[in-house]
Amino acid sequence: MSSLVGIVTVALVASLFMSFTVGANSNSAPIAPAVGANALSTLRGALLVGLVAALGAVAQGGSISETIGHGLVTGVTITPLAATATLLTAATLITIGNSRGYPIPSAFTVTGAAIGAGVALGGGFAVGTYAEILGFWFAIPVVEGVLAYGLAWLLLDETVPDTLSIPLLAGGVGYALANVQLSFLPAPHSEQGSIAGVLTRQLDLAATGIGEASTALVGGVIGLLTIVAVYWQLRRDVTTGINRMLVALALVVVFTSGGSQVGLATGPLESVFESSLGLPSLYLLGLGGLGILLGGWFRSPRLIQAVAREYASLGPKRSIAAFIPAFLIAQVAIVLGYPISFNKVMISSIVGAGLVGGSSSSDGVSAAKTGYTVGAWIASMVGGGAISFALYHALAALPGLG
């Protein structure tokens, strides 16, 4: 029993270490375009990353945590020792990349490490799940690059007034946010509810004959109010309005990143919390949120600078164009329960938006930096699997742990 308690303790510390690393690494990328556009200072951005990402972790982190904990290997239940091997491997690799200024994709690393430890435990490959996740990963750069490029082209087109394009885009984001599922909101037939759903029930709109369309109607009203608010701000001062829109979008994306990334730190411990500790997963998400909060505060400034300055120099409008696809793709991933790398998500958007108007030494995308990062993505997944596999066997061979 004392041996089990020791292993579980090490696994919890490893999860906290991993969530700290995620907060320093993956959750810092969304704020980078706002910093690069000089709408926010690096230190203020780091402070907001910690707070907002931690909130997103608790509110939206459950689905991806479930996939990491139960969906990547078949035939076995992840043990505390396997969880420890997974988290130590992934957190160490990401920390090395962080210290050298190269954002290592947490999703690639954790997925590879989880598969490696699960196979070492005697599990089988969940081939169908891998195909779905890999398909989604391959689609991200294409879909995001095209969307970001198109939005940047629209926002930079001088024939389209800012008071038209920016409020309409803000309204779309407002509508999407109104329908996002959040863990702290109740729902009649689900564990999570949305702002639009709660308002629909509070106003008893379903009884008016509108039926299922009532929630969409409430979401539409929220989107319309967002359009009016942004339009009013732009009419007062265009520059201030654009910068405030940029910061607001940055915080929305940071919130989403917390929900999509915390599962990478908490997923391997899903089975441990259920079987060994008998605690609900909300406590596990709270632990992950704490780690993300600390990581965002203490370690994210370096990565914020790396993504903001080295990958592309974006103005406010192209930064807005980068944020919106990142937000939408990440929310889709949360709904599907697919782990994603937010570094990949943000860099794909930054590259797409940065290509509008061509590239130069002061305005564009660093091809060399991007190429090195892609190589790190591939190496992190393959290397994470191999190292985690070996580490599990090494830990299992120690007296009292096998």
DSSP-derived secondary structure for 371-391: HHHHHHHHHHHHHHHHHHHHH
**Which stretches does DSSP call E strand in 114-270?**
124-125
Provide the pLDDT for residue 207: 62
The single residue listed with the structure tokens 């997944």 is: 381
Distances (CA, A) of 29 to 111, 342, 361: 20, 7, 22
**Beta strand 124-125 with 73-74: parallel, antiparallel or unpaired?**
antiparallel
Give me Rg for the CA atoms of the chain: 21
**What is the block-wise mean pLDDT of the chain (402 residues), using blocks of 10 residues?**
68 84 74 75 86 91 88 87 88 76 76 92 90 90 92 91 93 94 76 82 68 80 95 91 89 91 87 71 86 85 70 74 92 92 81 71 55 72 91 83 60
DSSP, collapsed to helix, strand or coil, labels residue 182 as strand
User: Residue 337: which region, alpha, beta or left (left: phi > 0; alpha: psi -120 to 50)?
Assistant: left
Q: Where are the alpha helices (DSSP H) in 26-41?
A: 32-36
Distances (CA, A) of 140 to 32, 67, 145, 178: 19, 19, 8, 24
> In this structure, what token pair is assigned to residue 24?
């320093």
